[in-house]
Chains A and B, each alone.
Chain A
């Protein structure tokens, strides 16, 4: 038993953790940069269409760009550099879907792409939907109680 603990300590001594400070800084820079660019899109697009729809269009453009960069094989290189900065905005979600699509293409469109496409994004979709449902339920009860008072 004692020996096992010794070895576990040895593993920990020789396992450097990720450079959190550097990663956070790069994530701030790249993630913020992506949001900055998307604000420019919004400003430009809202000249032609209502502002609310301009925000949606900007999101769609980001998704498109991230997918294209994934297909060109550049996205993972940018992501590796940017310490999580590409992961949090919608670009990360786009990449997680399109990268699986490319990967599973060789296994066919139905059982390959079709059944595997959300293997990485799946948890986000499931728990985002679940959290939304829970929030909606709480909001409904809250309103019900408020109206009764």
Chain B
């Protein structure tokens, strides 16, 4: 049975950090990132090692900003897009923090926050952190074509963000995680890996719609409904679905994938995607806005496209998932 999970005990953000690459620096949020490396290399020889370094750097920065040491953290939940999630494990092993590796494609950021919120609310864990990363070049190599290959990209294709976001959760912070709704695996009804926004929009709608069915909250109680990486066309589809079945919700929809790059100046087609997209936009943009009181109550869903290069070649539909969390300040 689907039900909303209420975190009865205080679960709140104690700190966060965002790390990005060249395109992220050039984008509208560039100045808000804690650290950007415009070479995309992060001092490493391979793209895969660079992604691991993003994970390490972002957690390090989040701990520094909140003056928390690795010994204070009881658990680390992390995930990325590389095969076997090796960026997270190799980037984070040096901290020596008990570790749980996760994979839920680009929705891993919310999945990790959801599980950690449960651990903290139940009292098993005092403080913990989540780390999620993606690297454009590592993803291109693994899922698409070689980086220097001169091919054409379809207008609906998205640009995997070279970015990472870390969050430290505990109790006593300004921004609280109040409740969550686990996502359901939803058939995206498309086989087009160049249009993942469309595959994920259906899952995002399913979660948002279910949330308002189960909850007593009204749409106008929220400042925003933020999705992870639907991009330009996925957002259009979601907004059309919302307009029909949850009128009003489409007006407060925002998408991290649409915020990270400038559509007119950057050659990123339908917007950003990747594990690092929603994590870095949450850390650099939405959390600071909430801490300042500009946003008081938001729904946050990272969106994931569940598929592999083989499943796509074999003509299987792309499945989507969208776990949801509610962030609030005050009471």
A79 interface residue per 8 A CB criterion: yes
Alpha-carbon distance A14/B236, docked complex (angstroms): 7
Alpha-carbon distance A73/B154, docked complex (angstroms): 21
B contact patch SS? loop
Kindly specify which of A4-12, A125-133, A141-149 makes contact with the partner chain. A4-12
Q: B154: shortest Cβ distance to chain A, in Å? A: 6
Residue of A nearest to B147 (CB): A103
B151 interface residue per 8 A CB criterion: yes
With A14-B237, A103-B141 as contacts: A79 and B146 at CB distance below 8 Å: no
Alpha-carbon distance A4/B192, docked complex (angstroms): 16
Q: A34: shortest Cβ distance to chain B, in Å? A: 12
Cross-chain contact A92 with B150 (CB below 8 angstroms): yes
Alpha-carbon distance A135/B208, docked complex (angstroms): 59
Cross-chain contact A14 with B233 (CB below 8 angstroms): yes
- Residues on A with C-beta less than 8 A from B145 are 99, 120
- Residues on B with C-beta less than 8 A from A31 are none
A59 interface residue per 8 A CB criterion: no
Cross-chain contact B195 with A7 (CB below 8 angstroms): no
- Residues on A with C-beta less than 8 A from B154 are 17-18
List A41-66 residues whose CB lies under 8 Å from chain B. Answer: none
Number of interface residues of B (CB under 8 A): 28
A contact patch SS? helix
With A11-B189, A11-B237, A14-B233 as contacts: A73 and B152 at CB distance below 8 Å: no
Cross-chain contact A83 with B237 (CB below 8 angstroms): no
Cross-chain contact B152 with A99 (CB below 8 angstroms): no
A35 interface residue per 8 A CB criterion: no
Cross-chain contact B152 with A8 (CB below 8 angstroms): no
B316 interface residue per 8 A CB criterion: no
Q: A44: shortest Cβ distance to chain B, in Å? A: 26
Please name 4 further chain A to chain B contacts, defined as beta carbons within 8 Å, in addition to the given A87-B151, A102-B148, A120-B146, sorted by A numbering. A71-B148, A78-B150, A80-B150, A99-B147
